[in-house]
C-alpha cells in the first residue's frame, strides 16, 4: 500500500498549501448529478489525506493542479455530461488523433480526461494544449484544469481543485479506462501513466488533429488563437483578440497588402458582436 500511495502522490501532486473536499448530498440537479458542497482548506494536503482517499474514506481528496511556481504535472478536461456519455467514443477519438490522454470516469459518471507531464511544466502551456484537445474532440466548452494560467499565493490565491480518481482504490467508480474502454485497476493505471506522460518538449511538439485545420481561416495560426476563435470571442476580449489576429494576418500575408481586408472578414465571422469599423 505504501508504494502505491507514494506513486499516486507523485503523479497527482499539485499546490502544497491548500486542498479541496466535496461532500455529496442526496439531491440531484437537472442533469442528474448529485448536488454537492465544496470547500477549499488552507492547509497542506498531508500524506494521511491521500491515504484516506485511497482507502475510500469520505470526503475524497481534491488537489489544485497549479503550484506556487505556476507549473503543473497534470491537467484535465472535465466533460460534465452524465446522461448517455459514451466514454469509449471519447477514448477512440483521442486514440485516432494520437493524443496521449488517460480518460477516467468521474464520481458522477462524466469524464475526466487527464494529460500527464513527466516534469512540472508551465500551466499556461498545459491549458493551451487542453483547450485545443477539447475543441478537437467536440467539447470546446468543457472546463479545463488548471483553471488559471497564474496564481499568486502571496496574495491569497489558491487556484481551483479537482476531485481525484481512485477514491477507494480498486473498489472505486472513479477509475481510468484502457484503450478498449475497460476499467483499469490502479496498478494498471500506473503503467498507462508511464506510457503516456510527456516531457515539456514532447508536449510543445504535440500536434492536435483538429477538423478545423482544413479551414483556410486557421492556416498556420497559433493553437491558442485557433481555440479562442473556435469558441467565439465575447464582448470584453474582442480588442485584444483582433490585435493578435492582425499580427497573424500581417505575417501570413507579408508579401501582399491584403491583411487589412482580411481583418474585416475575421471581425465579422468571429467577434460577438463584431467591432465597429472605426475600432
Cell numbers linked to 126: 498545459
Question: Which residue positions in the chain have pLDDT lower than 50?
Answer: 212-214
Q: Are 96 and 163 spatial neighbours (Cβ–Cβ below 8 Å)? A: no
**In this predicted structure, what is the pLDDT of residue 111?**
96
CA atoms within 13 A on the CB side of 173: 5
Residue-level pLDDT at 229: 83
State residue 196's pLDDT score: 97
Q: Give residue 2's pLDDT.
A: 86
Whole-number pLDDT of residue 215 = 58
From CA 23, how far away is CA 245, in angstroms rounded? Answer: 44
In this structure, how many other beta carbons lie within 10 angstroms of the beta carbon of residue 137? 22
| Residue 53 CB burial class (10 angstroms; 0-12, 13-18, ≥19) | buried
| pLDDT confidence of residue 48 | 97
Instruction: Give per-residue burial for 87-105: e unless 16+ CB within 10 Å, then b.
Output: beebbebbeeeebbbbbbb
The pLDDT score that the predictor gives to residue 204 is: 87
Selection from 217, 228, 218, 221 nearest residue 247 by Cα? 221
Amino acid at each position: 500500500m505504501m508504494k502505491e500511495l507514494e506513486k499516486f502522490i507523485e503523479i497527482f501532486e499539485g499546490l502544497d498549501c491548500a486542498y479541496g473536499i466535496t461532500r455529496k448530498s442526496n439531491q440531484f440537479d437537472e442533469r442528474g448529478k448529485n448536488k454537492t458542497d465544496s470547500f477549499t482548506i488552507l492547509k497542506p494536503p498531508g500524506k494521511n489525506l491521500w491515504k484516506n482517499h485511497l482507502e475510500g474514506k469520505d470526503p475524497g481528496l481534491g488537489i489544485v493542479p497549479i503550484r506556487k511556481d505556476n507549473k503543473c504535472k497534470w491537467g484535465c478536461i472535465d466533460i460534465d455530461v452524465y446522461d448517455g456519455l459514451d466514454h469509449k467514443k471519447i477514448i477512440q477519438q483521442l486514440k485516432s488523433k494520437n493524443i496521449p490522454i488517460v480518460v477516467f470516469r468521474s464520481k458522477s459518471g462524466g469524464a475526466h480526461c487527464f494529460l500527464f507531464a513527466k516534469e512540472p511544466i508551465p500551466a499556461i502551456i498545459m491549458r493551451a494544449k487542453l483547450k485545443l484537445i477539447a475543441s478537437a474532440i467536440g467539447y470546446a466548452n468543457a472546463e479545463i484544469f488548471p483553471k488559471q494560467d497564474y496564481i499568486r499565493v502571496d496574495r491569497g490565491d489558491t487556484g481551483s481543485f479537482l476531485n481525484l480518481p481512485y477514491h477507494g482504490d480498486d473498489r472505486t467508480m472513479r477509475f481510468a479506462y484502457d484503450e478498449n474502454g475497460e476499467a483499469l485497476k490502479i496498478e494498471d493505471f500506473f503503467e498507462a501513466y508511464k506510457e503516456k506522460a510527456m516531457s515539456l518538449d514532447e508536449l510543445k511538439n504535440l500536434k492536435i488533429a483538429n477538423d478545423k485545420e482544413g479551414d483556410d481561416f486557421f492556416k498556420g495560426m497559433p493553437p491558442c488563437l485557433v481555440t479562442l476563435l473556435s469558441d467565439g470571442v465575447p464582448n470584453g476580449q474582442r480588442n485584444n483578440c483582433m490585435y493578435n489576429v492582425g499580427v497573424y494576418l500581417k505575417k501570413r500575408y507579408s508579401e501582399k497588402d491584403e491583411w487589412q481586408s482580411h481583418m474585416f472578414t475575421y471581425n465579422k465571422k468571429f467577434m460577438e458582436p463584431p467591432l465597429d469599423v472605426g475600432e
